[in-house]
Structures are given as structure tokens and as C-alpha cells.
Amino acid sequence: MTQPLTPELLIYGIVAAGDPQLSPDGARVVYSLGRADREHDRGTSQIWQSDLDGANPRQLTWTGDRNREARWSPDGRSIAFVSDRLQGSSGLFVLPMDAPGEARELTRHRQPIGGLAWSPDGRSIAYTTTFDPDNPDEQPLPECRPPKVRVTRRLDYKQDNRGWVNDARGQVFVVDVASGERRMLTREPHDLWFPQWSPDGRTLAARVTGASGIYSRLALVDAATGHTRRVGPEFGSVGVWAWSPGSDRILFDGDTEPSAAVDLFLYSLNDDAIRRLTTDLPCTPDAGFPTVVAPSQPVWLDDSEVVFHAIRAGESCVYRFNVESAELRRELATGSVSVGFSVDASKRYVAHAHTSLDGLGEIAIYDRQSGERRLITRHNTGLLATAPPAAWERFDVERDGTIIEAWLLKPADFDPSRKYPVVLDVHGGPHGFHGFAFNNIQQVLASHGFLVVYANPRGSGSYGREFAQMVRCDWGGEDYLDLMTVLDALLERPYADADRLGIWGYSYGGYMTAWAIGQTPRFKAAVCGAPCFDLESMYGTSDIGHAWGPYEWGGQPHEASEAFAAHSPSTFAHRARTPTLIMQGEADERCPIGQGEQMFVALKQAGCEVEFARYPGGAHAMLRVGPPSHRADFLERLLGWFTDHLT
């Protein structure tokens, strides 16, 4: 007997295996296993190990709620990891793997530690943590006193998921594995992330970000002195990077401006020169998400060839690239949207954290020699057998000579003789993408009797630069028409009910939801998550608006006031009649809560049925990192709204 995938099951029943790391000899893999702790209303994670084929799984950590970021030493005899087992602090530990022993603390900080990287000789570990020049000793805030007055002189004084940061920025530290002695290596005015040692152990390459991550380039840090030099243009971008075997070159992806797409570049240390290797890379290397997900760094196979993980058309692939000829070849298409890219010393095996339309939260191993890729864990198999995920299909729609790729999810017990309500799901970005990934919101809707259609309209990522840039200065234009064309194509099918249509989206998807209900009465219900509602107020209140807005919207407000108004959902909200649920985190710095507040007032005054759910402390990334109770509530409210209005 099967049951639906309820919000309860999706939040509290699913476990997630992630961040897999292969041992140097390719015999073992360590990974974190995360789950939601209902009692303490937080996510937890412990570190596990198994053989390469998944045999002999065992839990390695038992103390603390969050143990993560396990990294093998170069000799494969130890792992380093981060743990919160020290109350009120984040600790860096080393655990022996070839003999019984307890984890040994190397160092600790009051704020989170991340970006662990062993030096090639195994004697040191580099990492990053936030350093606040106003609190260099990491003292706790005094109790029973009002907060200090906040004064800033910089535009990037706040960041989503971090709040007020001002001059506090991530810096590179190095700790000695034997003694625990640590050195603060950098004192930069911007954040440094994910340091990577050169093979000769002399230099660290890290991503340095400005304007809350809109701009980024490489920082090369001398491991002995901390002397730092920048690589790349000040207002460009860097996503992933890797040292050549000879420590004399670095391959990286990015662009000379935040163009919504990336290419591959090669930096020569000897010449201090950058050479552009591609002009329209058809895929998007997985750059991760600072403080949450590490980038999938490329791996050099020899002096001329590199292998890396990237997304193409909403699907994870493994690519091989020759830096001399600039030849790009796809080795593997995974049928999934996976995370991470760990290889063994021989570079034969690759480990991914796997999610697909058929399952999630597992570890996959790809054998580059045989071409075989298989799952080695089955943490969620039992649950998904009793609560099956949606049936699905891929289809294409052509409009004005452009192919738009789309997906349809159906209830697991789909009956083509019935008529089903339809929900259109719009991705974020606008340069994000939908694809072959398990999505809680899509699955909970399909599991409860809805057809869910989603697409990658022009502007979406993972299709190359030209496609991604089609949305620039045209939000709500051709992108909106693409989505309506996809919806119309679906409604030609007899089982899709045109009288019961809903629309949902988050972030830019929230923008498109707000835009659509001001353009057409066809939707009978809408759920709008963390919207961008008014471009002019968004420009001055979002943590990235001042840097990202001119590129996306055509200038500063005084330069493009007519365009800002023409492309703002706020301009047309008075025409809306669609019953709408707005949901947003109150600590959202990306699409600030004021955007939802403006939309709520506008719809209320337009006479709409409208409800506003606000999540205290919730950042823009709350659906990924928020308290489990908030994430479950979000799913329940969304499902309830569409159920009440479309069924």
C-alpha cells in the first residue's frame, strides 16, 4: 500500500547523504549523513564511511549535532572534519582512520569553520573563518546590554544568510596538524573562500568575493608570508579553479563581467597572464554556494587535460577538456543534478552526492575506466518504495525559433482518463535552471494529485551565454511568453484542466509569479515565495541590488526609471485578481521582506484574496538551511493553498 509524499515525510523522513570524499587509494568513501531533528528543530549531520562499493557502512562521529566537511589526509591515514561538539564554537578535528583512536581537536573558533584543505605534505590544514576587526578575540556579546550602534561606510555591509557583516570577512588560516598552532594568513577587505594548495605547497588559491558574491576573482596567497595578489578583473567572476601539476598554471571558469554565463581561462603564474580558452562554454561548472556547498573543483589528469563536473540543460555531466587545443568532450551524462566532485589519487573514480527525479540523498560512484556509474547507498529506498515520487517526462516547445526545454511531473498513480489541476513552477535566478533533480515542492504537489510543469525559459543557466543573456533588461518579456507557451502546450493534453491553473515560484520565480497575476486572469491560485516585486526599491535594499541590478535591469534607477517601472510587477499589481499566498523569511537580505510587504498591500488594495506568511529569522536560503519546522510549514501552506483553490 503506497502513501503520498507528505511535508512530514519530506522534511523529517528523508535523510541526505552528501559531500562524499574518496580516499586517496580509491578503496573507501566518507560522507555526511544529514537529517532533521524534530525535538531541537535543527538539521543534524554525522560522518559515515563505506567501502567503494557501499559495503561495510559505519558511522564515524557520534558527538555533536553537526559533523561535516570530512577531508582525507594525503596519505589516507586520517580525516579532518568540522564539528560543533564544543558548545558555542566550531572545532576542527583530526580522526585516525587506520587504527582505533579518538578525534583530536586542532583548533576552534566561535564562528563557523569551512573550506578545509590539507597541505600536500600533510603537515598543515588551511581553512576559512570570519574575522571581525572590531572583535579580533572573538568575544561573546555582553549580556543584558543593548546592541551596539551599527555604522558602515561600505555598500556590502550585509549579506543574505549572514545578516550584518560590515567589515567582518572570511579569512584564510593555517593550522599545524602536529602542534595545533594556527596562523591567520590573510587580512583582506573581502571574503576569501575555499583555499586550494598548489602541488608544491607554496601558495594557496582562494576565491575572493565582493558585492555579496556578485564579483569574484582569485587570490593567490603565499603560504609562508600571507602576501596576497589578485588574479582577474575587479568586476569579473570566478566559479571553480584548479592548480596544474607543475604549480605554474591555474585553470578557472568565470567571466570578465557578471554575464550570467562562464568560460574557461588559464592563468600563467610565470607570465602573470590570463588566456581565454573558450568563448561560449555550453555548460555551467558547479561553483557551489559559499558557506553552504563547496565548489566542484576541476581535476588535472596530466599537464594538458582536465576533468570537471558541470550542468548542461539541467543535467549533471562529467566533461574532459584539453587546455592546449580547447577541445571539450562530454564523458558522462548522469540523468541527475548531483553535487560534488571528489576523485581518488589515480583519478579513476569520481564520487557525487546524487539527486534525480526518481530519488535523492544518495552517494554515486562513477568509474571513469569502465564508464559505469552506480549508487552505493540506499538510505531513502524504503521510504520512496512506500511513498513513490512522481512519474515524469521531458518535452520541448519551440517559440520564435528557440527551443524551450520542459518537464512534466504526474502523480505516481496517474490516470490519463482523469482531469488534473496544473501548477506551473518557475525557477529562481533568473539564470538558475530546472532539471533532473528531486524537488520537495514539485514532489509534494504531484504526490497530492497535481500536474506540475516546469521549464527553462530563455535566460536560464546551463545552456550557454547567448541563451542566458536573453533575459537581460527584459524580465517579464520573452521569458514570460516562453512559460505561457509551455503551459499552453501542456493544456492541449486532455488530462490537463485549463480551468484549474496555479503558478508558484521563489525569488525570480516569485517575481514571475507576481508578474503573471498582473498580466493574466488565467491562474486561479498563486503562491509567491520571496518575490522581487518592485525593481527600484529592490535596487537599494537587496544585498546585491546595487551591483547586480544595473546589469540585469539596464542601469541605476535614475538612468532607467521607465524600464524599472515597465518591468516591475508592482506597476501592474492593481489589475490582479488571483487568490495569492505570499511566503517570505523576515531576515531575507536578497529579496528583502519589504518586497513581500509591498506586494501584500498592493494585492489587498486590489481586492485580491491574499495571505502573507512570514518566517522569523528566515534568510533567502531558508528552504535549504532554515529550521525544519519552518520548511515543513512552508510545504504545508503551499499544498493547502493550491488544494483549497484548485481541487
- Domain layout of the chain by residue ranges: 14-141+152-334, 390-646
pLDDT over threshold 90, residue 294: no
pLDDT over threshold 70, residue 409: yes
pLDDT band for position 203 (cuts 50, 70, 90)? very high
pTM across the whole model:
0.96
pLDDT band for position 526 (cuts 50, 70, 90)? very high
What's the pLDDT at 292?
Answer: 67
pLDDT band for position 290 (cuts 50, 70, 90)? low
What's the pLDDT at 291?
Answer: 63
pLDDT band for position 1 (cuts 50, 70, 90)? confident
For 297-355, write each residue's pLDDT tens digit: 999 999 999 999 999 999 999 999 999 999 999 999 999 999 999 999 999 999 999 99
pLDDT over threshold 90, residue 390: yes
pLDDT band for position 260 (cuts 50, 70, 90)? confident
CA–CA dist 568, 572 (Å, integer): 8
Residue with grid cell 492593481, as numbered in its chain: 574
Q: Check if 14-141+152-334 and 390-646 are the same fold.
A: no
Within 10 angstroms of residue 10's Cβ, the number of other Cβ atoms is: 22
pLDDT over threshold 90, residue 538: yes
pLDDT over threshold 90, residue 289: no
- Partnered with residue 234 across adjacent β-strands are none
pLDDT over threshold 70, residue 69: yes
- Partnered with residue 254 across adjacent β-strands are 238, 263
pLDDT band for position 516 (cuts 50, 70, 90)? very high
Over residues 232-247, mean pLDDT: 96
Residue type, 328: L
3-state secondary structure of 546: helix
User: Please, are residues 95 and 81 in contact by the beta-carbon 8 Å criterion?
Assistant: yes
What's the pLDDT at 67?
Answer: 96
pLDDT over threshold 90, residue 100: no
Name which of 103-112, 253-262, 615-624 the model is least confident about. Answer: 253-262
pLDDT over threshold 90, residue 25: yes
Within 10 angstroms of residue 370's Cβ, the number of other Cβ atoms is: 8
CA–CA dist 396, 560 (Å, integer): 35
CATH number among 2.120.10.30, 3.50.50.60, 3.10.180.10, 2.60.40.10, domain 14-141+152-334: 2.120.10.30
Q: Does domain 390-646 have CATH number 3.30.390.50?
A: no
For 141-158, write each residue's pLDDT tens digit: 888 888 889 999 999 999
Over residues 509-519, mean pLDDT: 98
What's the pLDDT at 258?
Answer: 77
Over residues 539-554, mean pLDDT: 95
CA–CA dist 303, 295 (Å, integer): 22
What's the pLDDT at 76?
Answer: 97
Average pLDDT taken over every residue of the chain:
96
pLDDT over threshold 90, residue 215: yes
CA–CA dist 399, 388 (Å, integer): 34
DSSP code of residue 146:
P
